[in-house]
Amino acid sequence: MRLRPEEWPAPIRGELRMTYWDGAHNSARRTLRDVSLLVMWGTTRVPSIRMADPEWIDVVGGALLMRGMGVHTVDGRIYEHEEVWLIRALESLERPPLPKFDASPWLKAKRLPVGDPPAVYTSAQEHAKISKEPR
């Protein structure tokens, strides 16, 4: 389900941290990256939202888009779904809030901006380049 812009949640201000889950101790049986957004609760930083297996997918208007798996529990059942987070960096959590993100240019286009595709670069090309360099 894709949320309409008016359904997007309010921004959460916090510190982004990435950790790793050992594959021997999770149901995926592989190492997973876990991203948590830590927020202040009194004088302590606590995780507010989490995402498993994040990947950076784009840079939009000075913000990073990250996609990964979110998990929620409702009535004793676990629901897993894909999420996309829009991440905007601050120098410090003590700084004033950033102005609201204007998504209208991307919503009008009904797609993300498309640039030139990255050049395909292989290890064979790197090896050929290194072998030609004088030693």
DSSP the chain: -PPPGGGSPPP---EEEEEEE-GGGSTTSS-EEEEEEEEEETTEEEEEEEEEEEEEEEEETTEEEEEEEEEEEETTEEEEEEEEEEE---S-TTSPPPPPP--HHHHHHTS----PPPPP--HHHHHHHHHHS--
- 86-100: pLDDT as tens digits: 898 888 888 888 888
- 9-58: pLDDT as tens digits: 888 999 999 999 888 887 778 888 999 999 999 999 999 999 999 998 88
Q: Which percentage of the chain shows pLDDT scores above 90? A: 22
- The DSSP string of 30-60 is S-EEEEEEEEEETTEEEEEEEEEEEEEEEEE
Domain positions in the chain are 5-91
